[in-house]
Amino acid sequence: MSKLKCHHSTIDINFSSVSFSSGMHTSISEILKEKSLKPSRRSLPCLAQSQTHPINLNHFLSVPLSPEPKPEVEGLSQSISTSWKILTLARTKTYCTSGTLKDGKDHFVEESEVSTCEARADESFLLQKPVTRAKLEARTDSGKNPTASSGLFFRDGKKRIDYILVYKKSSPQVEKRCTFEKNLRAEGLMLEKEPSLTNNDIMFVKVHATWDTLCKYAEQMNIRMPFRKKCYFTDWKSKTLGSRFHLRCRQIKSWLPRNPMKLDKEALPDLEETDCYTAPFSRARMHHFTINNRETFFSNSTRSRIVHHVLQRTKYEDGKSKMGINRLLGNSTYEAAFPPHEGGYKSRHSIKTHGAQNHRHLLYERWARWGMWYKYQPLDLIRRYFGEKIGLYFAWLGWYTGMLIPAALVGVFVFLYGLLTMDASQISKEICEANTTIMCPMCEENCEPWTLSDSCVYAKVTYLFDNGGTVFFAIFMAIWATVFLEFWKRRRAELTYDWDLIDWEEEEEELRPQFEAKYSRMERVNPISGKPEPFQPFSDKLSRLMVSVSGIFFMISLVLTAVFAVVVFRLIAMEKFASFNWHFVKKNWQFATSGTGVCINFMIIMSLNVVYEKVAYLLTNLEHPRTESEWENSFALKMFLFQFVNLNSSTFYIAFFLGRFAGRPGKYNKLFSRWRLEECHPSGCLIDLCLQMGVIMFFKQIWNNFMELGYPLLQNWWSRRKMKKGGGGGQNVENKAQLPQWDKDWNLQPMNAHGLVDEYLEMVLQFGFTTIFVAAFPLAPLLALLNNIIEIRLDAYKFVTQWRRPMPARATDIGIWHGILEGIGVLAVITNAFVIAITSDYIPRFVYAFKYGPSLKTACYVNSSLSVFDMGELNNRNHSGYCRYRDYRAPPWNTVPYEFTLQFWHVLAARLAFIIVFEHLVFGIKSFIAYLIPDMPKDLCDRMRREKYLMQEMMYEAELEHLQKERKKNGKRYHHEWP
């Protein structure tokens, strides 16, 4: 008897849903007479299943929910007959549902009863062979609607899938899911469920937004839509030049060879009308807008954004905070939510002969393929497919890469200058010819005195990066960083204008679920929305911020501890390599010490990066940011601080501390009274800094590229392997092309949970490497350029082929990263001034050339920079005589032995003076350039003001013309004045 009751209730519910109108029509003739059908506010029965849904019932649920605004009578009668057939089929099976009964109340079945009843209901269906099931689905999708088989439409082949929700049928959150889906239908969305072909426990919910729903929320969200073609005005310059001049210029331009970097516009399809005036969409003034086709008026990204807006604001339980798809994803009600890709990215036919199948295929062929590495990026197409936020990231990355070209060329010229003049360098000659200059031992036990000429190769390599072009290149890169940021502001202004983001204001963000759960008991009125919302007291916010700052300082101290450990290793390795039995290692102990120290430091850096990400995540959650953008900015700032200190702390040690506190022979400073502090080579410490930067920058870029592409490739390969073997309990799918699009997208990797933070972070850290210590490593811009050429196509390939399609989000700039880049630009000027003044030998050589060189004609610079020590003062009796060491100290036969000479104080004064002059000069040039370059081009300002004026005129004329036509049509008198 219980089964029969369940059966009859299901039939009654289905029958009530067939009526699908507020007046509850009783006959089919009344339905056919109605011209415009409104979507029903009454929800359909929500199947709370733990097994696979019958396909026919799912098809029945999708048909009568919300028909098109103007359906044809023939199509409507066909859908009704289909519904009656499904009703007849439903009588032969028993389905236990939880939904709206006749009395209008919502009843939910207990979990145990649901699972038991559904197990019986689906038993006969699950026992079917996979072949039969495949044939049934093929039969459903075939026929008059071949587009439905691609997985982009509902089964009727007409309703476009705007969003995909994924849940497990074994999930216990049935009641929340049913209420949520019922409310989605009430909001005007149409849902259709589909079981996965690869996993029997996975169910897909396809979401479609009707025309009325799109118009309603487009008006609420102030989405700007085109309403008339732009008419550009000609200024006085173009009038004076005349049309003949323009024709002659075009003719000459056509004779020139085509730019190979530009994309072939003939291969790109016509995108949405970007050459139109736009205005916030309004249903009352719908006649103003250019609506040629309702299906294409709203782009796919706009449709997905509207559906995401509805999903974020739909309730699943009674309560102020019980709403939104994010909370349902957090409590495992749904496994995933994403907009579908527009089809496959590969085709058997050539894109040149058959054209692109879809925008994803076009993006792959014209952007994501490695063969397109020298082409400009189709930013408009990227923005249309992925949204403005991701489009701005690739625009910034492309602009940064293009600006690296002149920096890399100048860096290469500086390096080539050092390479060509290396043999002619006076310092290298002096060191290579110093066969009689005996240097003091590097350690006090097993080390022997050595000849200065033994380090000839070391001195020549040092000159490559420490020559006369170093100062020029440091000034050039400081100015380059300013020009890069200032011109990016102009480029961003042009993009925001072209993408219609000038007047777009970010809507009030919803609160994070964690924030609401924590401060639900404390409320205050939001001054913007005027509604009460949870509030975080200042005392609580301050205490949490202090704990977070303390955690940041603790992690920074951990980094400094790791650097200290590397320093101790270098001291031990220096002693071991200097007293090594192998002559080759003993001769090149400087390279051996620096190389092993850099490799160990790199391994420590990569290990700590994993820890920092988790710590930054915990500290950010501890602060309880109010919105998602605040959480992302706080997390990004912590990640940047951690990784910047982690990458550059050892570099700062080598640049500014290595060899500064070593002492002198006979009175060396020792660490823990055991290890003697490391000294600089007679030719300087710059080669150690160069080696540190080169190794870390090269290997880190390789590792990042592998993790960005290799990890998703391995995961997707493993998913495809499981699919072929039927690991999820589904069918053995040999050909991936047989799967519908929702199954293909589900088996891809989701976009990073941190959004674009990791992408920006990698590039910003690289920008720091390129600018901060560029005086020590002029090839850094070249390495960055080569990496970015690969990075653009790697990220493009990842977004198009390896990741699910992210929600198209809007943005007007790159956020907090612009401020971080400006801070790096200021820090770069200071560090480069100190590198040239302290680390490089440029200032000592300069002082010697202008002060001591002319008076000491018989002396040389190397000889003047080395002091004398009496080895007889050492306890070691094996050594006797005099040896030299790098310092400006008096000889042992002086009245005050081993005191600093006058030359030391002259060099120190010159170094301090250079730092002050360099910083003031470069900062002055940077400020002057920033003043000269406006943030927005003047012609763009004029065009915006002109279009704003024309838009107001057009809106007035269009409204007046429409009202006059309406009055004339109704036979009423009309006037030319505004009504």
Residue 583, pLDDT > 70, answer no
Q: What gap in Å lies between CA 136 and CA 134, rounded to an integer?
A: 5
The pLDDT value recorded for residue 585 is 66
The pLDDT value recorded for residue 18 is 36
The pLDDT value recorded for residue 651 is 84
Q: What is the pLDDT of residues 165-175, one digit of tens each?
A: 999 988 888 88
Sign of CA dihedral 66, 68, 70, 75: negative
* Helix boundaries (H) for 20-72: 28-33, 55-62
Residue 748, pLDDT > 80, answer yes
> Residue ranges of the domains in the chain?
148-237+280-356
Least confident range from 9-23, 709-723, 875-889: namely 9-23
Average pLDDT over residues 627-637: 86
Q: What gap in Å lies between CA 857 and CA 615, rounded to an integer?
A: 61
Q: What gap in Å lies between CA 59 and CA 193, rounded to an integer?
A: 8
Q: And the tokens for 541?
A: 């916010």
Average pLDDT over residues 720-726: 63
Q: What is the pLDDT of residues 478-487, one digit of tens each?
A: 889 999 999 9
The pLDDT value recorded for residue 507 is 59
The pLDDT value recorded for residue 403 is 92
Q: What gap in Å lies between CA 450 and CA 90, rounded to an integer?
A: 96
Distances (CA, A) of 879 to 663, 749, 765: 20, 67, 49
Cβ–Cβ under 8 Å, residues 268 and 378: yes
Total length of the chain: 979
Task: Give Cα 191 distance to the centre of its chain.
Answer: 31
DSSP summary character for residue 839: I
Bridge partners (DSSP) of residue 100 are 106
Cβ–Cβ under 8 Å, residues 770 and 762: no
Q: What is the pLDDT of residues 926-969, one digit of tens each?
A: 889 888 888 888 888 887 787 777 777 777 777 777 777 777 77
The pLDDT value recorded for residue 23 is 36
Residue 95, pLDDT > 50, answer no
Residue 240, pLDDT > 70, answer no
Core vs surface per residue 169-179: b (16+ CB within 10 A) or e: bebebbbbbbb
The pLDDT value recorded for residue 857 is 52
Least confident range from 20-24, 515-519, 772-776, 946-950: namely 20-24
Residue 146, pLDDT > 60, answer no
More confident residue, 23 or 675: 675
Q: Residue 111 corresponds to which amino acid?
A: E
Core vs surface per residue 65-97: b (16+ CB within 10 A) or e: bbbbeeeeeeebeebbebbeebeeebeebbbbb
> pLDDT above 90 covers what percent of the chain?
13
Residue 108, pLDDT > 50, answer no
Average pLDDT over residues 503-519: 69
Range among 77-81, 86-90, 444-448 rated most confident:
444-448
Q: And the tokens for 580?
A: 């090594």
Cβ–Cβ under 8 Å, residues 525 and 532: yes
The pLDDT value recorded for residue 29 is 34
pLDDT band for 345, please (50, 70, 90 cuts): confident
Average pLDDT over residues 753-772: 87
Average pLDDT over residues 234-244: 48
DSSP summary character for residue 753: T
The pLDDT value recorded for residue 241 is 46
The pLDDT value recorded for residue 807 is 87
Q: What is the pLDDT of residues 422-470, one digit of tens each?
A: 877 778 888 888 888 888 877 766 677 888 887 788 788 888 888 878 8
Q: What gap in Å lies between CA 780 and CA 480, rounded to an integer?
A: 14
Least confident range from 313-317, 470-474, 496-500, 658-662: namely 658-662
Residue 16, pLDDT > 60, answer no
pLDDT band for 856, please (50, 70, 90 cuts): low
The pLDDT value recorded for residue 116 is 33
pLDDT band for 271, please (50, 70, 90 cuts): low
The pLDDT value recorded for residue 391 is 92
Tokens 């689905």 found at = 137
Residue 759, pLDDT > 70, answer yes
Distances (CA, A) of 671 to 145, 578, 675, 781, 866: 80, 18, 5, 37, 24
| Average pLDDT across the chain, whole number | 74
The pLDDT value recorded for residue 404 is 93
Per 3-state DSSP, what percentage of the chain is helix, strand, and coil (rounded to 5)? 60, 10, 35
Least confident range from 539-548, 679-688, 721-730, 905-914: namely 721-730
> pLDDT above 70 covers what percent of the chain?
72
The pLDDT value recorded for residue 270 is 53
Residue 304, pLDDT > 50, answer yes
Least confident range from 72-86, 386-400, 646-660: namely 72-86
The pLDDT value recorded for residue 913 is 94
CB-based contacts of 96, cutoff 8 Å, min separation 6: 6, 10, 109, 113, 114, 117, 118, 121
Q: And the tokens for 670?
A: 């020792």
pLDDT band for 852, please (50, 70, 90 cuts): confident
